[in-house]
Amino acid sequence: MHRIVFLGPPGAGKGTQAARLARELGIPHLSTGDLLRAAVAARTPLGLEADRFMRAGELVPDELVLRILGDRLGQPDARAGFLLDGFPRNLSQAETLDRTTKLDVAVSFDLPDRELVRRLSDRRVCPTCQTVYNLSSNPPKVAGRCDRDGTELVQRPDDRPEAVANRLKVYAAQTAPLLDYYRRHGLLRPVDADGTLDAVAARVRSAVG
Ligand SMILES: [Zn+2]
């Protein structure tokens, strides 16, 4: 069984590695956003309930997210396991998750703040087609212009250095107790997230066993 949770700060490359590992292991890659959108689109009773919160601009309560997740984990493609990306985000969600399913491993992506700030500060996005670029690792062909439509790229306010420092502070405050929790349960596998996609993927692969 591969019942996996990925934990990592914004900018650590967690989403890319999650998609890759899930494909390799043949298990579903589940992020909360996708999970909720799928339940809403399928018009399941829980999806409709979640939709009411989302339409009101409110956060979907953890209990409801967990019930939707429980439904999803009961589907045939999740029999060999699953990869949760970006959930749980805090200790209370982790404890609730424990009542829904057992886990085999929690992989945490470790990267120095300085490197995270650099990566996030290098992010640029096309306001027309939403394509995301990175000035150092994935630059556009023509400086400052989207490859697909030539629109001038912009930096999201969220990716400015001051905002990034704050996002990382919030993340650290929420996640430290979560890391402790999984460490105490013997599930935590820290992975050095610095390096090429392939190098990090190999470390992740050996961390999940
Ligand atoms: Zn574009």
Domain of 159, CATH number, reads 3.40.50.300
The count of domains in the chain is: 1
* Whole-number pLDDT of residue 194: 92
Range of the domain at 80: 2-28+75-208
Domain presence at residue 61: no
106/22 Cα distance (integer angstroms): 14
Among the options 14, 20, 72, 124, which is catalytic? Answer: 14
Tokens (6 digits) for 170: 């919030």
Has residue 161 been placed in a domain?
yes
Residue 160 lies inside a defined structural domain of this protein: yes
Can you give the pLDDT at residue 20? Answer: 95
Q: What Å distances lie between residue 32 and 25, 48, 56, 98, 134, CA to CA?
A: 20, 15, 18, 16, 25
Examine the residue annotation and report whether 79 is marked as an active-site residue of this protein: no
Query: How many angstroms does the Cα of residue 11 sit away from the middle of ligand 1?
Result: 21
Residue 190 lies in a domain: yes
Asked about 141 being catalytic, the answer comes back as: no
Q: Which helix (H) or strand (E) holds 94?
A: helix 91-100
Active site residue 167: yes
In a domain, 86, yes or no: yes
Report how far ligand 1's centroid is from the alpha carbon of 139 (Å).
Answer: 13
| Annotated catalytic residue, options 3, 20, 119, 123 | 123
The pTM score is 0.83
Q: Which of 89, 145, 183, 189 is catalytic?
A: 89
55 is catalytic: no
User: If you measure from the C-alpha of residue 128 to the centroid of ligand 1, how many angstroms do you get, rounded to a whole number?
Assistant: 5
| Domain assignment present for 119 | yes
Q: How far are the Cα atoms of 135, 151, 155 from residue 144, in angstroms, in the given order?
A: 9, 8, 10
pLDDT tens digits for the chain (209 residues)?
899 999 998 888 888 899 999 999 999 999 888 899 999 999 999 999 999 999 998 889 988 999 999 999 989 999 999 999 988 988 988 998 998 899 999 999 999 988 998 888 999 999 999 888 999 888 999 999 999 999 999 999 888 888 888 888 988 898 889 999 999 999 999 999 998 889 999 999 999 98
Instruction: Report the distance separating Cα 45 and Cα 90, nearest Å.
Output: 26
